[in-house]
Each structure stands twice: as structure tokens, then as C-alpha cells.
Amino acid sequence: MLAVAAMAAMVGCADLDSGSLLVSEADEVQMGAEFHSQLLAEMPAHTGDARVRQYVQAMGNRVVPHTHRPNLGYTFTVVQSDEVNAFAVMGGYVYVTTGLLKAATSGAEVAGVVAHELGHISARHGVKAMENYMLLNGLASLLGKKYYGDLVAGAIQTVTTLTFSKDQEREADDLGLQYALAAGYNAWGLVDFFEFLDQAYGGGGGGGAVGGLISDIGELFSTHPPTPERINTVSGALQAREITREHAGLDWDTAEFLTVKALLY
């Protein structure tokens, strides 16, 4: 486990530009709660066997201490949708579809995706997107009045507020790799999942959105760099760290994951 400890130390020392112009962390938390409430009104949370939700929550809790914002407070939600997708919104909210859980073959794959989403939150990508939305639409005054609900409702309607640039996606991939390793997961799982996306969709989105919302958000697909680029970048970073698929002390979490996955059928 010394290798994992060394990785955790490396993550803690990494420089991260998470500054923002308008939105304080208190504002972020309030708007995140609004996003969560309004999103769940439009897309159903998984209400099947509770062990599925508990597994994803436990996985998230395992990764969070190794992020750059471990004290933010996080909520991990499983969304009932056949679409293979995951996304994050400001304030510590991460969403994973049942379709993604069915598509994955190991816990390490899911952990890599969850860690990627936590990278977005650590870098405050959602906050920066919200700030751009407010400035472009002349809505900054609503923040001072704490009209969080109105701001969030408008942002959800634009949808693009919930997606990120290709450079932000690259940053989240890099952070996700670091976080997954530091939490003791084998980050080759993230490569495996990218390879699945490339083979199944050619880097495009899966089908079966709930009310169109998840497809519109499209976090895994819409603004990402080409999937082969992501595969090469993440695998190259792992090779540079001399991380192998059989690396001692790193977990694939296959057996427990497959037990949980079977509960979805």
C-alpha cells in the first residue's frame, strides 16, 4: 500500500485552478441543492434494491477524501435510465445511470467514471459554467439577491450550462485518474470504460434518455475529446507512472460489483 500512499500525497500537492469570479462556495452549495431538487423532478432516481445505491455511495465516499475538495459534502445518485451516462453538477452532486452500471464490467470502471465527475467538482467546472451563463444573460444581480431557484431553472433549460469544454474534460480525466489511484482503484478501469464507449458508440451517446434530459446533458459524450485520444492519454499517464493492470495494492473490485450489478436485472 506504500504505492497508493505515495499517489495520495502526489494528488494533495497538485496545483488546481478552482477559482471563480462570482460564486462563493456557500452560493455553490445552495445552487447545487437547487439543481439536485429540480433535476430529480425531471429524471427518476433508482428505487430498486437499495444495495445498488449504497454501493455507489460507498464508492464515492472512498474517493472523496483524495479529491481537492474533500470537505464539500457530496451526494451520489443512481438514476434509472438505460442510457450509459454520468454527470456532475456544482455543489457536490454526482449522478450515475443504471445503464452505465449495466455496461461496466468491474467496480474499477465505475470508480474511474465517478472520480472523473469528482474532478469536475474539484475544479469547479460547473461553477465556472454557471458564471458564464449569468454573465452572458445579464443575471448576475440575481445571485446577489440569492434567487438560486430562478437561476438554476433557467440554467437547466439552456442545458449547455451543465456541459463542459474539451479542456475541462481533459482536466477531469487527469484528476479522475489521480483520485481513483489514490483511493486504491486500478485506474486501467477508466481505460477499459473508454474502450467500451469507443466500441459501442464511437465516442457518441447511448440511447434511451429519460425525458430527453440525460441525453441533452450528455456528460460522457457531448463535449469530450475524441474517445481514442482519451484512451491514449489515460493509458499513457498510467504507463508513465508504471501502473500495470496487475499492480499490487490496487483494486479492480470485480466480485462485489458483479453481485451489485446482478440486482439491476
Is 156 contained in some domain?
Answer: yes
For 179, residues 6+ apart whose C-beta sits below 8 A from its C-beta are: 11, 63, 66, 67, 115, 118, 119
> Is 154 among the domain residues?
yes
Kindly give, in sequence order, each residue whose CB lies less than 8 Å from that of residue 76, ignoring residues fewer than 6 positions away: 53, 56, 57, 59, 60, 61, 94, 95, 96, 114
Count CA atoms within 13 Å of residue 235 on its CB side. 12
Query: What's the predicted TM-score (pTM) here?
Result: 0.89
- Tally of domains in the chain: 1
Report if residue 193 sits inside a domain: yes
Mode of pairing for the β-strands spanning 93-97 and 75-79: parallel
Residue 8 has pLDDT above 80, yes or no: no
Question: How big is the CA angle at 153 (ends 176 and 164), to the nearest 5 degrees?
Answer: 30
pLDDT tops 50 at residue 261 = yes
Q: Where are the beta strands (DSSP E) in the chain?
A: 75-79, 86-89, 93-97
Range of the structural domain that residue 40 is part of: 2-14+22-260
Q: Is residue 230 part of a domain?
A: yes
For residue range 76-86, what is the model confidence (pLDDT) as tens digits? 999 999 999 99
Residue 150 falls within a domain, yes or no?
yes
Residue 251 per-residue DSSP state: B
Render pLDDT for 203-213 as a digit per residue (tens, 0 to 9): 544 433 333 56
Does 10 fall in a domain?
Answer: yes
Identify the three-state secondary structure at position 78.
Answer: strand
Max mean pLDDT range (20-24, 28-32, 219-223): 28-32
The answer to the question of residue 213 being in a domain is yes
Q: Tell me the pLDDT band of 163, cut-offs 50, 70 and 90.
A: confident
Q: With H, G, I as helix, E, B as strand and everything else as coil, classify residue 149.
A: helix
Q: How far is CA 141 from CA 83, 91, 126, in A?
A: 37, 20, 19
Sign of CA dihedral 113, 114, 119, 125: positive
Give φ, ψ of 106 to 5 degrees.
-155, 160
265 in any annotated domain: no
